[in-house]
Amino acid sequence: MNREQVKERLTKVFRDVFDDDEIVLTDKTTANDIEDWDSLEHINLIGATEKEFKMRFSVREVSGMKNVGEMIDIICQRAGK
């Protein structure tokens, strides 16, 4: 799975979690860029992402993610294994 495929699937997850079909993700997208992205929605987002990609993030990975690009990197690394 390449970065673009991951970004497409992740965009669907974001749109579902935040109920907003207008969301367009970039590598630099952060919580500041999406209006309803608060701590509760962050938990929902992580859970939905784990379900979509059939993986679990470690606490270190979740706390270390600074933007969508880093999330995509982790997913790509895991998919390559």
Q: Is the pLDDT of residue 81 over 80?
A: no
Averaged pLDDT of the chain: 94
Q: What is the mean pLDDT of residues 6-14?
A: 97
**Span 46-71, pLDDT tens digits:** 999 999 999 999 999 999 999 999 99
- Contacts of 25 by beta carbon, 8 Å cutoff, 6+ apart: 7, 10, 11, 14, 68
How far is it, in rounded angstroms, from Cα 81 to Cα 77? 7
Domain segments of the chain as ranges: 3-79
CATH fold group of domain 3-79 = 1.10.1200
